[in-house]
Amino acid sequence: MPTDIIMPQLGESIAEGTIVKWLVSPGGRVEKDQPLLEVETDKVALEVPSPAAGFLSEVLMSEGQTVPVGTVIARLESQASVGIINRVGGVVVKPVPQAGEGEEHHSPAVRQLAKEHGVDLSQVKGTGADGRVTKKDVLEFVVKARPAQPAARSITAPAPTAKASAPTAGEEIIPVTSMRKTIAERMVASRHTAAHVVTFFEADFSGLAATRQSHQLTYLPFVVNAVTRAMRDVPVLNSSWSDNGITIKRDIHIGVAVALEEGLLVPVIQNADKKGLQQLGKEVADLAERARTKRLNPEEVQGGTFTITNHGGTGSLFSTPIIHQPQIAILGVGAVQKRPVVINDAIAIRPMCYLSLSFDHRVIDGATADQFMSKVKGYIEQSDWEKFL
């Protein structure tokens, strides 16, 4: 008998997922552990493997649909034709009883968002699978219900969303992916939540050149090491804001932004302060490679306490990155370039790099941010790097 494939639980706080692409056509044969479909959540995009060999007898949810965790999305017919319950790579395959007709189902994320904005979900028209209410539906309802502000007060209001219209002969409409929508929502929310301020420092990377070359490392492990040491000196940078007070995090988990064609992911290096340069280098490379090939585990993009974005990889010198909530700061690393600098009243050529720190002015002031950046700069410019391998 056929078995039901349901939308897997892709992390503790994940309530729904978007089907990006079916990798096997209906009726097609699939081998055990062969990628079956691509799923995208607000935290990660990954390929979901098939838990068993067999035939994809029925596809119930089409590409582009966002469905709650536990929703039946397809059926697999095995050669043995027996019902199974299995877990492979986060996929659960099991018979699922159908919900009663007319029964309302709202994901925890939707209910929480509605509670925060005082929204009665019975008044919201759902655009998700089977008419379910999504987070986007709630946010649009809040915007429409918000009273219009006088023109004199509209300076700080968000820009109105452009109305949908058919493209002209010289235009093209590119569909917005679930990941792009999530990034947009989070970036706007961060700008409206944190009091963003940016400070810039310049660091001389010549002190780490010999160690970097002899051990074939990139610059990023050295920056991560310098940041974690600076956090021990200025621990408030490893914190978050709440109405109850500032929460200092004991563990240091560094998120490293990875650019993808369709957006941005921030995999996390757990307990980065306890790892040497070589281990940091291996983890950064591994996480970045698996982020680009959609093979990250959901827990690998959660729990970050501070983020580093290496925008210099594409040649950028300066950046003012947006804080990754609920963190209170993000470090931007520019391109390392040889430039003339004055050292002991003489001009010398050094590999220099501009570092930017976007920080939440609600939590720290400029003096604290600069104290932290001075520490980061000092640790980067040291020459005794071998002991940190």
* Residues designated catalytic: 361, 365
Cβ contacts of 322 within 8 Å, gap of 6 or more: 187, 190, 191, 196, 330, 358
Sequence-separated contacts (24+) of 159-167 with Cβ below 8 Å: none
Beta bridge partners of 359: 197, 329
Determine contact, residues 100/10, Cβ cutoff 8 Å. no
Beta bridge partners of 47: 38
Exposure b/e, 223-246, CB count within 10 A at least 16 = b:
bbbbbbbbbeebebbbbebeeeee
- Strand, coil or helix: 357: strand
H/E stretch holding 287: helix 277-292
Determine contact, residues 364/198, Cβ cutoff 8 Å. no
Cβ contacts of 154 within 8 Å, gap of 6 or more: none
